[in-house]
Amino acid sequence: GESVGLHLPTLSVQEGDNSIINCAYSNSASDYFIWYKQESGKGPQFIIDIRSNMDKRQGQRVTVLLNKTVKHLSLQIAATQPGDSAVYFCAEAYNNNDMRFGAGTRLTVKP
């Protein structure tokens, strides 16, 4: 079946730098896309989402970009902090309920 995947399994950045986490998806019929953050020992937590009719959405220190032409999604984190260290998952949702995840990217922030 169609799946959501990630370009890089790990990412290491310096504290204060910007981080960019990428994701490729294959279901062009997905309604919206979501980024989750998972810290050790916890379930994933929602960060930000974007509807398929948008190409950019900004939150607090985070921006999600959607490029439907190449089926690519990215999460940008500004001024990365040690508390941002976690595994980040992108997910795509179809028909507002069927939600599938990618394999995840581990972000490590170096002091």
Instruction: Give the footprint of other proteins on this chain (CB under 8 A).
Output: 1, 3, 9, 31-32, 34, 41-46, 49, 89, 91, 93, 96-104
Given a contact cutoff of 8 angstroms between Cβ atoms, the answer to whether 24 and 5 are in contact is yes
Nearer residue to other proteins within complex by CB, 75 or 102? 102
CB of 46 to other proteins, least distance (A): 4
Nearer residue to other proteins within complex by CB, 15 or 98? 98
CB of 38 to other proteins, least distance (A): 8
